[in-house]
Amino acid sequence: MHTVADSRLSLANLGDPFSDDQELSMDDEWDHHAPNDECGVFGIYAPGEEVARITFFGLFALQHRGQESAGITVTDGTAIVTHKDMGLVTQVFSEKTVEGLVGCAAIGHTRYSTTGSSTLCNAQPLEGNSAFGPFAVAHNGNLINTAELKAELSALGCNFASTNDSEVIAQLLARTEAASFEEAIIEVMKRIQGAYSLVILTPDKLYGVRDPYGIRPLCIGKINGSKYVLASESCALGPVGAKFVRDVEPGELIIIDRNGQTEVQALPVVRHATCLFEFIYFARPDTMLYGKSLHQARRRMGQELAREHPADGAHVVIPVPDTSIPAAIGYAEAARIPYGEGVIKNRYIQRTFIQPSKRMRDLGARMKYSPLTETLAGKKVVMVDDSIVRGTTTGKLVRMLFEAGAREVHVRITAPPVKNPCYYGIDMADQRDLVAAHMSVEEIREMIGATSLGYLSLEGVVRAIGINKDKFCRACFDGKYPIPVPKQLRESKLMLDVKSEDDGPVEQSTKAEYAVV
């Protein structure tokens, strides 16, 4: 069990935050064909319930949002206790550990690192002590003014025990001079810039926070009509017996205690800018966002893709499992081409601590995907996927299909070309690694070896979702960042001489302070 107890914030004995001795998943070696989200958060206030057990299953439903570490913090009304470790939720928690976490409220976190390395010191929730007592915080997102705030806190004598930006939030809460903890949270919200959805736990309250742009998702649910749940996605509500109530609004602070729920519009809504990739790829298909079913939205994306990029004479439409299945179904429906399974995914390869040999790494996608020859042999195949980032895995998949006997392989992508890096909590690589940033569609087609290649347009994605594009952050596609990005942080990822548009002025910061994965 890894706990935190100090006068301010202490993460001692959790390992060297700058260590290179990290355990990598097999996916880390070659599964870079799609971007990765940072994490999932979950919270519950339910006296009389097994809150740790409910949080465990909530995190289990959010496992797709992060596979590097997991943690749960509980309170019994007086003290708070945390258990966290590296690995999947099922690796971190056992029946014994869950039974030992007894309380009336809890928060949980499952992590994929975007700022800060994949080491135990960066696992969450993070605990701390403020003038109002102990607290714990779990964060989904990415701050863009980390360097400035870290320098300020360091000058005040703050020692950082981790390399993630979430500790900045915890340190600010720990050093508050506000009149109440609620005011402290609002004060911190005014200081931090970027994407953040937070769940915060004190001995007597659960808080939910969303940034004033609403970039990362957060929703509210109820158990038995009177007990409250917060979760990154609505897909985590059903498995724990909770019913969806609504999304947390941008800039909103939710306060939950024994008297029920209180809502405070802590910051004015700047604009709605939910990450468009949540609809395309990140969120589970059984999640609802903006009142829309993601499964149906992705199905319509496939239909739009078939209209924009038909594949005349094709015999079968196959998805790259699992996230592309709804879109492939939609493509097959609109194109009137049979849908089939052409690739089987090994669903148990998510994380292993056994490292593959160089020869096995060279096999690349074959460790994760196996072709179905009977579906592919002699066929003209449409392969539907959600995105191409670096292009390496896509190329391996195309070769695999040809080697299995496919006559033609027409690649269809339900996202527009990804040309710009993300600064708001998505591991999308530097711009030099984004293949669409320096290659034309035809050049990418040649690189991956496909017969043809078609991307769904941004307009097509928006039509499929049925919501105005101004409700989304779409910077990775069109370069229009809703929150101005500090110049030095931008330069750390914009490795090409490509000028992107901002909706506001560029601010100055310190490049050396950022640990961008």
Whether residue 422 is predicted with pLDDT greater than 50 in this model: the reply is yes
Q: How confident is the model over 439-461, as pLDDT tens digits?
A: 999 999 999 999 999 999 999 99
CA angle 430, 435, 437 (to 5 degrees): 75
> Do residues 68 and 198 share a domain?
yes
pLDDT at 42: 98
Q: Tell me phi and psi for residue 274, to 5 degrees.
A: -60, 140
> Do residues 170 and 304 share a domain?
no
Residue 2 falls inside a structural domain:
no
Residue with tokens 């056992």: 94
> Do residues 459 and 478 share a domain?
no
Asked whether 26 and 366 are in contact (CB, 8 A), the reply is no
pLDDT at 134: 98
> Do residues 505 and 451 share a domain?
no
> Do residues 245 and 353 share a domain?
no
Q: How confident is the model over 53-88, as pLDDT tens digits?
A: 999 999 999 999 988 999 999 999 999 999 999 999
> Do residues 182 and 306 share a domain?
no
Owning domain of residue 219: 37-270
Residue 284 falls inside a structural domain:
no
3-state SS record for 352-421: CCCCCCHHHHHHHHHHCEEECHHHHCCCEEEEEECCCCCCHHHHHHHHHHHHCCCCEEEEEECCCCCCCC
pLDDT at 32: 39
> Do residues 324 and 431 share a domain?
yes
What pTM does this model have?
A: 0.85
Compute the average pLDDT of residues 240-244: 97
Residue 161 falls inside a structural domain:
yes
Residue 51 falls inside a structural domain:
yes
> Do residues 130 and 266 share a domain?
yes
CA distance 138 to 197: 8
Whether residue 471 is predicted with pLDDT greater than 90 in this model: the reply is yes
Q: How confident is the model over 206-226, as pLDDT tens digits?
A: 999 999 999 999 999 999 999
> Do residues 100 and 224 share a domain?
yes
Q: How confident is the model over 354-365, as pLDDT tens digits?
A: 556 666 666 666
3-state SS record for 185-254: HHHHHHHCCEEEEEEEECCCCEEEEECCCCCCCCEEEEECCCEEEEECCHHHCHHHCEEEEEECCCCEEE
Nearest to 57 by CA among 241, 183, 204: 241
Whether residue 379 is predicted with pLDDT greater than 70 in this model: the reply is yes
Specify the number of domains making up the chain: 3
Asked whether 412 and 383 are in contact (CB, 8 A), the reply is yes
Within 10 angstroms of residue 17's Cβ, the number of other Cβ atoms is: 19
Compute the average pLDDT of residues 133-141: 97
Nearest to 69 by CA among 54, 56, 84: 84
Active site residues: 39
> Do residues 435 and 482 share a domain?
no
Instruction: Quote the tokens at residue 311.
Output: 């594949």
Residue 6 falls inside a structural domain:
no
pLDDT at 7: 32
